[in-house]
């Protein structure tokens, strides 16, 4: 048991470290290639930040525990729509601005996509047909977003520093190549750490008779959201609301469609007992509704609304703890 405890701690540390490493290296690649920041935030950063969820889900599916991925995605989405959004307000300029028709329409899509897996699994199974629906939703959203490329105006610059013109092209290319190698290495480390984390989680779930899905919601859901926390705080200090919202909404969409779609294709996610998901389902729906409401009414999330989202996340954590402590249904 001690071995599996240290395996989980070490794997969780590697998941966080390699995710942050990936965020940093991909940011530098994006700056070198002069990609548009909204595209990067929605896709590159969101996909990279979702790698832990994807690897954990794929490994869990091959270990006959795909419900771990479902719990992980639900927990992570709640964290993104409440805690991470609140941190963006507190570490930023007192509000998280959602101006522009592209952001407003994307917020509506995000709320709908966040609850889509909950609707598809009402029959107790997220099967391969449902997986195709999720993957098509991701594809259609991607095509729609790229069709709006005229609305992308800013070049991505995560470090908030321009590439210095005095650096010769060969030096800049060398840095770019090093970051590509770091990205590949980070992905390999993520894969190994995800394998260790899943092995440890399955061991403890069996030893203590804890539903695998609950560990996904309560432990992995928070841990795998840490890259978004890191990226959001860094962007908030620069006052870059577009990138923050792009990353947050993109992460929810990528996890709810691409990640769950791939996992369900490998092995359908069967949920016979919804009780471990009851509270998480409720808070995911409420979080998505309030995130959408705040962002669309005043075209920003202000400090008071950020405090509300923070308390919403705290209520979610407290509720999960109370249910487990008092063994409530």
Q: Domain spans of the chain?
A: 2-325
Q: Taking 90 as the threshold, does the pLDDT of residue 226 lie above it?
A: no
Q: Is 199 exposed, middle or buried (0-12, 13-18, 19+ CB in 10 A)?
A: middle
Is pLDDT above 60 for 155?
no
Three-state DSSP at 293 gives helix
Cβ atoms within 10 Å of 177's Cβ, excluding its own: 12
Cα angle 228, 151, 88 (rounded to 5 degrees) comes to 25
Write the pLDDT tens digit of every residue in 13-59. 787 777 677 767 776 776 777 666 556 666 666 777 787 788 888 88
- In this predicted structure, the answer to whether residue 149 has a pLDDT above a threshold of 70 is no
What's the start-to-end Cα distance of the chain, in Å?
Answer: 28
Q: Hey, what long-range contacts does 324-328 have (CB within 8 A, 24 or more apart)? A: 324/214
pLDDT of residue 329: 53
At 142 the pLDDT is: 84
Tokens 């199974």 sit on residue: 125
Residue 211, number of CB atoms within 10 A of its CB: 16
For 146, residues 6+ apart whose C-beta sits below 8 A from its C-beta are 39
Q: How far apart are CA 327 and CA 282, in angstroms?
A: 18
Per-residue confidence band for 134, with pLDDT thresholds at 50, 70 and 90: very high
Residue 321 has, within 13 A of its CA and on its CB side, a CA count of 6
Task: Look up tokens 């994807």; give the residue.
Answer: 54
Lowest mean pLDDT among 101-105, 216-220, 243-247: 216-220
pLDDT of residue 159: 44
160: left (phi over 0), alpha (psi -120 to 50) or beta: left
Q: For residues 76 and 224, is the Cβ–Cβ distance under 8 A? A: yes
Span of 2-16, 53-67, 203-217 with lowest mean pLDDT: 203-217
- Helix H segments across 92-219? 101-120, 128-146, 169-208, 212-215
Share of the chain above pLDDT 70, in %: 83
Residue in this structure with the two tokens 């979610």, named with its chain if needed: 316
Q: Does residue 162 register a pLDDT over 50?
A: no
CA 287 to chain centre: 14
- pLDDT at site 40: 62
Rounded Cα gap, residues 128 and 134, in angstroms: 10
- Tokens coding 185: 């290495």
Q: What's residue 161's pLDDT?
A: 46
Nearest Cα to Cα of residue 75 among 99, 56, 101, 47? 56
Strands 269-270 and 300-302: unpaired
**H/E stretch holding 157:** none
Highest CATH level, class, for 2-325: mainly alpha
Whether the per-residue pLDDT at 243 is higher than 90: the answer is no
Kindly report the pTM of this predicted structure.
0.80
Token digits of residue 183:
């990205």
């Amino acid at each position: 048991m001690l071995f599996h405890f240290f395996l989980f701690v070490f794997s969780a540390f590697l998941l966080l470290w390699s995710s942050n490493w990936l965020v940093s290296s991909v940011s530098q690649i994006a700056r070198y290639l002069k990609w548009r920041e909204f595209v990067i935030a929605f896709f590159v950063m969101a996909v990279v930040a979702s790698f832990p969820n994807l690897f954990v889900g794929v490994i869990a599916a091959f270990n006959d525990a795909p419900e771990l991925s479902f719990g992980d995605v639900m927990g992570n989405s709640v964290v993104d729509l409440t805690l991470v959004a609140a941190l963006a307000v507190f570490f930023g300029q007192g509000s998280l601005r959602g101006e522009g028709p592209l952001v407003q329409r994307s917020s509506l899509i995000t709320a709908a996509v966040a609850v889509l897996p909950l609707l598809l699994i009402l029959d107790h199974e997220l099967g391969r047909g449902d997986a195709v629906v999720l993957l098509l939703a991701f594809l259609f959203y991607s095509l729609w977003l790229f069709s709006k490329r005229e609305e992308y105006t800013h070049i991505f610059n995560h470090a908030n520093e321009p590439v210095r013109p005095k650096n010769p092209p060969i030096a800049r290319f060398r840095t770019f190549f090093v970051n590509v190698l770091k990205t590949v290495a980070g992905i390999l480390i993520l894969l190994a750490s995800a394998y260790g984390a899943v092995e440890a989680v399955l061991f403890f779930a069996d030893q203590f008779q804890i539903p695998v899905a609950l560990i996904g919601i309560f432990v992995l859901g928070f841990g795998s959201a840490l890259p978004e926390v890191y990226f959001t705080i860094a962007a908030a200090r620069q006052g870059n609301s577009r990138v923050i919202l792009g990353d947050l909404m993109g992460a929810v969409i990528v996890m709810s469609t691409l990640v769950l779609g791939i996992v369900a294709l490998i092995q359908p996610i069967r949920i016979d007992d919804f009780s471990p998901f009851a509270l998480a389902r409720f808070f995911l729906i409420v979080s998505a509704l309030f995130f959408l409401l705040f962002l669309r009414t005043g075209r920003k999330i202000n400090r008071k609304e950020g405090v509300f989202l923070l308390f919403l996340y705290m209520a979610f954590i407290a509720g999960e703890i109370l249910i487990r402590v008092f063994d409530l249904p």
